[in-house]
Homo-oligomer: A and B are copies of this chain.
Amino acid sequence: MIISKVADLRQELKSKDPGAKVGLVPTMGYLHRGHLSLIERARAENDIVVLSIFVNPTQFAPNEDFDSYPRDLEKDCKLAYQSGANYIFAPSDKEMYGANYSTYVNVDGNISRGLCGKSRPNHFRGVTTIVSKLFNIVNPSNAYFGMKDAQQLSIINRMVKDLNYNINIVPCPIVRDENGLALSSRNAYLTDEAKKQALILSRSLKEAKTLYLEGENNAQELKRYIRGKINSMSLAKIDYVEIVDQETLENIDYINRPSIIALAVYFGKSRLLDNIVLEDK
């Protein structure tokens, strides 16, 4: 069932057994297999699965791709039902941000400042605000987020802890295409050539992890290695390549705790994210 009004979704959920477990999968739509893996996981772990599809204006800067962000609600619904969603919540901008809208949830500090927060200053404020709203509307037991957006995941974990949301955040592994490219709705912007060159992202992350497992703990060395690989591609423009503590996202020089190598790289107008976790050896 597609629902566009907050009140209608509340009414539907209220009519269910109050003990029913509700799983929420927040998305911006244009679903790919990564999203579907979240829905399937939610299906397996809950009685009711709510998928939200909302291209959230407050997480885009004026110069970003809000208007051109790909949308296909009809196809999304078909895929979502096949994967086990019960409700698709697809509200309008006006439904989510009415007249005189004024309230924002913000996670301050280092966790928001580095990585994507540096080039997208108000992005995460928009993310935490819309996610709070969805949490308050759906009141889920579990909420599902992809690990491709590593910083988003850390920030949401921080918010849930700080604001005492009684919600279990379930991180879901990155889903990749057959060549290793991390799936993203923004891959739709890539030319064939860019798509080919973008494979360097996952490949260089994987190689750096191998170097780490073979004994290289110096973060500068690993970053230099990855940057060199990416810069060898004519269409690539690095936004950042960083190695950070998995929980706090603080930069680290010597890798001696669970860490992430995270990167953002432009290929034309597409800004692609990828990352790889370095567990303790």
* A interface, CB within 8 angstroms of B: 6, 10, 18-19, 98, 100-109, 111-112, 128-129, 132-133, 136-137, 139, 158-159, 161-166, 248
Contact = CB atoms under 8 A, between A and B. Distances in A.
A109 B102 contact: yes
Contacts of A105: 103-106, 132, 163
A108 to B, nearest CB: 5
A136 B159 CA distance: 12
Contact of A164 (B104, B108, B111, B133): B133
A109 B98 CA distance: 14
Contacts of A139: 139, 166
A137 B129 CA distance: 18
A271 B161 CA distance: 34
Contact of A128 (B6, B10, B103, B165): B103
B104 A10 contact: no
Contact of A103 (B103, B133, B163): B163
Oligomer: number of copies: 2
Given A18-B18, A18-B19, A19-B18, A132 B163 contact: yes
B248 A100 contact: yes
Contacts of A109: 100, 102
B18 A166 contact: no
21 contacts: A6-B164, A18-B18, A100-B109, A100-B158, A102-B109, A102-B112, A103-B105, A103-B107, A103-B108, A103-B158, A103-B159, A104-B106, A104-B108, A105-B163, A106-B106, A132-B163, A133-B162, A136-B164, A136-B165, A136-B166, A139-B166
A106 B108 contact: no
A24 to B, nearest CB: 13
A19 B159 CA distance: 28
A231 to B, nearest CB: 34
A93 B87 CA distance: 40
Contacts of A166: 10, 136-137, 139
A159 to B, nearest CB: 5
Contacts of A106: 103-106
Contacts of A163: 103, 105, 129, 132-133, 136
Contacts of A161: 98
Contacts of A19: 18
Given A102-B112, A103-B108, 10 more contacts: A102-B109, A103-B106, A103-B128, A103-B162, A104-B108, A133-B162, A133-B164, A136-B163, A137-B164, A139-B166
